[in-house]
């Protein structure tokens, strides 16, 4: 893959080892150019082997392994429960390749985001620019710094809105899952409880203080996926099961858009890089993230679809078809815990922009907490008001995730390196498998066109059509959306 920052810029940026803050350090605790961290201080805070091996601290971390934990925990959550429905919409023959394809596209998008991040920091260092101590860079700031203020504003809109909606979805999904574990409370009542617990998210300073939460996120998703896989094979196929996936165009494209949404969790990449001691390594880390997500999504989705077939077209949550049991309750509890971790991960960038808008981002943490509390309150209110998260996933994937995590990084890359001078002074070398800039530009252009046509065009049409089909079943502040009708006495 591409070289580290500084390898393509001899005089202006220098190398990683001499530049210090450029590329190989996140925001850290110190000031200086770009607020880069003091390397000796970072090593002295419990890290060994240059950040590859985490210390025994339970919650503070910035190693490569910590970044894998955070990225993996954010990549796949409640979508595991909706992918069997996606298989019923697309069929296994198309669904599985689509999962692999969007994993690859996601990995490429993250690779470019790391590149752009290193380029941004290298340019700022060469220009002598600095930022306030403890200031955490965000996606829109990097893009805006490279291609102009307008690019930053567009990125701000799409990324923050998509992450805010993703945070709301975590709350809605948690209440829905808890209902399947205990139907004595309706979904709205469960939402009251979930929302109250969600306020604890305001006390997590940043991703560098989320090691334990990320570990829990990984374990819980893995437990749920294993349960789905084993339960489906143990129960066997339902009587008269049919597998007609892929025959309805609207359902097919809606499923494809849901997969795009499922593997579009890299809107938090810049914040993860800021928490790392060696952010340039993240391009390798994300390959491991993709491998993990493939392992926990394909087997569980295919096995549940094999067992229940077309029934899943009417049940977008796998817990709705798997029979009640102690193991299902354990899996539900695991997924709810994961969604709590997911809420922390997705809401954090939203917290940061609100802190910056209020002018308290670099102030004492108590002031930051006060700004975060109203943000959670608004998300909780929206979760109560719009409890129909399933159809929202596809619409969000088509119009927000598509732009924020697939199109913007590629388009920003093309704009950043449109001039010969920028290409000659790139902070990162071209990858060995694409040794020419023309090939980089061609590949990025093809992916942009594909994403616009398939993701926004066909996917948007299908998602909106599905949304309209189901709109009569939606009810604002619904007590129990898609709950089984009471059995007549």
Query: What's the whole-number average pLDDT of the chain?
Result: 82
Is 197 or 54 the better-scoring residue by pLDDT? 197
Q: Per residue in 112-123, pLDDT tens?
A: 999 999 999 999
Residue 149: band (very low, low, confident or very high) from pLDDT cuts 50, 70, 90: very high
Residue 13 lies in a domain: no
Q: Tell me the C-alpha distance between 199 and 203, whole Å.
A: 8
Report, as an integer, the average pLDDT of 376-405. 81
Amino acid 231: pLDDT: 95
Q: Tell me the C-alpha distance between 34 and 48, whole Å.
A: 24
Distance of CA 9 to the CA centre of its chain: 32
Residue 427 lies in a domain: yes
Report, as an integer, the average pLDDT of 52-79. 73
Residue 147 lies in a domain: yes
Q: Per residue in 183-195, pLDDT tens?
A: 889 889 999 999 9
**Weakest mean pLDDT among 76-85, 98-107, 253-262, 287-296:** 253-262
Is 3 or 159 the better-scoring residue by pLDDT? 159
For residue 30, give the 3-state DSSP assignment: coil
Are 345 and 74 within 8 A, CB to CB?
A: yes
CA distances from 130 to 32, 46, 248 (A): 7, 27, 55
Amino acid 394: pLDDT: 65
Which residue has tokens 């009569």? 472
Q: Tell me the C-alpha distance between 284 and 118, whole Å.
A: 15
Highest mean pLDDT out of 194-198, 240-244, 458-462: 194-198
Total number of domains in the chain: 1
Are 69 and 211 within 8 A, CB to CB?
A: yes
Amino acid 409: pLDDT: 94
Amino acid 43: pLDDT: 34
Amino acid 2: pLDDT: 43
Inter-axis angle of helices 437-450 and 408-416, to 10 degrees? 150
**Weakest mean pLDDT among 22-36, 338-352, 467-481:** 22-36
Q: Tell me the C-alpha distance between 386 and 471, whole Å.
A: 12
Q: Tell me the C-alpha distance between 63 and 83, whole Å.
A: 31
% residues pLDDT > 70 (the chain): 83
**Over 70: is that where the pLDDT of 61 sits?**
no
Q: Tell me the C-alpha distance between 458 and 316, whole Å.
A: 21
Q: Tell me the C-alpha distance between 233 and 306, whole Å.
A: 9
Rounded to 5°, the CA angle 38-353-146 comes to 70
Residue 489: band (very low, low, confident or very high) from pLDDT cuts 50, 70, 90: very low
Report, as an integer, the average pLDDT of 401-424. 93
Amino acid 468: pLDDT: 79
Amino acid 99: pLDDT: 93
For residue 47, give the 3-state DSSP assignment: coil
Q: Per residue in 368-386, pLDDT tens?
A: 999 999 999 999 999 998 8
Residue 36 lies in a domain: no
**Over 80: is that where the pLDDT of 396 sits?**
no
**Weakest mean pLDDT among 117-131, 362-376, 463-477:** 463-477
Residue 478 lies in a domain: no
Report, as an integer, the average pLDDT of 18-37. 39
Q: What separation, in Å, do the N-terminal and C-terminal C-alpha atoms of the chain show?
A: 66
Beta bridge partners of 168: none
Is 415 or 8 the better-scoring residue by pLDDT? 415
Residue 398: band (very low, low, confident or very high) from pLDDT cuts 50, 70, 90: confident
Amino acid 53: pLDDT: 43
**Over 90: is that where the pLDDT of 14 sits?**
no
Q: In degrees to the nearest 10, what's the CA dihedral of 124, 127, 133, 137?
A: -20
Domain CATH code at residue 324: 1.20.1740.10
**Over 70: is that where the pLDDT of 28 sits?**
no
Q: Per residue in 81-93, pLDDT tens?
A: 889 999 999 999 9
Q: Per residue in 246-283, pLDDT tens?
A: 788 888 888 888 787 777 767 789 989 998 888 888 88
Q: In degrees to the nearest 10, what's the CA dihedral of 158, 162, 165, 170?
A: -170
Q: Per residue in 48-60, pLDDT tens?
A: 344 444 444 555 6
**Over 90: is that where the pLDDT of 424 sits?**
yes
Q: Tell me the C-alpha distance between 38 and 454, whole Å.
A: 46
Amino acid 110: pLDDT: 92
Q: Quote the domain boundaries for residue 237.
A: 58-473
From the list 256, 221, 282, 178, the residue with the least C-alpha distance to 450 is 256
Report, as an integer, the average pLDDT of 301-326. 90
Residue 40: band (very low, low, confident or very high) from pLDDT cuts 50, 70, 90: very low
């Amino acid at each position: 893959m591409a070289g580290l920052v500084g390898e393509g810029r001899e005089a202006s940026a220098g190398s990683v080892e001499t530049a210090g803050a450029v590329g190989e350090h996140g925001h850290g605790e110190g000031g200086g150019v770009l607020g880069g961290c003091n390397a000796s201080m970072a090593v002295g805070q419990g890290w060994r082997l240059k950040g590859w091996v985490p210390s025994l601290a339970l919650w503070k971390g910035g190693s490569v392994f910590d970044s894998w934990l955070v990225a993996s925990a954010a990549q796949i959550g409640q979508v595991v429960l909706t992918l069997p429905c996606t298989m019923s919409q697309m069929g296994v023959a198309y669904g599985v390749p689509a999962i692999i394809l969007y994993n690859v596209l996601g990995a490429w998008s993250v690779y470019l985001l790391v590149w752009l991040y290193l380029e941004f920091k290298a340019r700022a260092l060469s220009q002598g620019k600095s930022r306030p101590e403890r200031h955490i860079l965000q996606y829109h700031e990097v893009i805006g710094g490279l291609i102009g203020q307008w690019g930053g504003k567009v990125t701000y809109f799409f990324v923050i809105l998509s992450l805010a909606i993703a945070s709301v979805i975590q709350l809605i999904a948690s209440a829905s899952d808890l209902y399947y574990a205990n139907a004595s409370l309706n979904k709205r009542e469960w939402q009251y409880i979930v929302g109250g617990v969600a306020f604890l998210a305001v006390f997590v300073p940043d991703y560098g203080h989320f090691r334990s939460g990320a570990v829990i996120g990984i374990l819980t998703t893995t437990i749920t996926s294993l349960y789905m896989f084993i339960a489906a094979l143990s129960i066997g196929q339902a009587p008269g099961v049919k597998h007609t996936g892929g025959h309805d165009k609207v359902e097919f494209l809606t499923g494809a858009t849901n997969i795009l949404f499922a593997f579009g969790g890299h809107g938090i990449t810049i914040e993860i890089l800021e928490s790392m001691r060696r952010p340039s390594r993240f391009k390798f880390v994300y390959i491991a993230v993709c491998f993990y997500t493939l392992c926990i999504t394909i087997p569980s989705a295919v096995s549940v679809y094999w067992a229940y077939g077309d029934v899943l077209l009417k049940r977008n949550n796998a817990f709705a078809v798997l029979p009640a049991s102690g193991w299902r309750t354990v899996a539900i509890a695991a997924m709810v815990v994961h969604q709590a971790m997911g809420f922390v991960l997705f809401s954090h960038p939203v917290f940061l922009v609100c802190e910056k808008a209020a002018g308290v981002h670099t102030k004492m943490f108590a002031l930051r907490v006060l700004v975060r509390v109203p943000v959670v309150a608004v998300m909780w209110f929206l979760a109560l008001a719009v409890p129909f998260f399933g159809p929202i996933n596809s619409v969000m994937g088509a119009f927000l995730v598509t732009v924020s995590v697939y199109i913007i990084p590629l388009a920003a890359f093309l704009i950043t390196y449109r001039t010969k001078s920028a290409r000659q002074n790139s902070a990162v070398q071209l990858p060995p498998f694409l040794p020419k800039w023309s090939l980089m530009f061609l590949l990025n252009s093809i992916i942009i066109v594909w994403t616009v046509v398939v993701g926004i065009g066909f996917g948007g049409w299908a998602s909106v059509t599905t949304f309209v089909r189901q709109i009569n079943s939606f009810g604002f502040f619904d007590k129990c959306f898609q709950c089984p009708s009471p059995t007549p006495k």
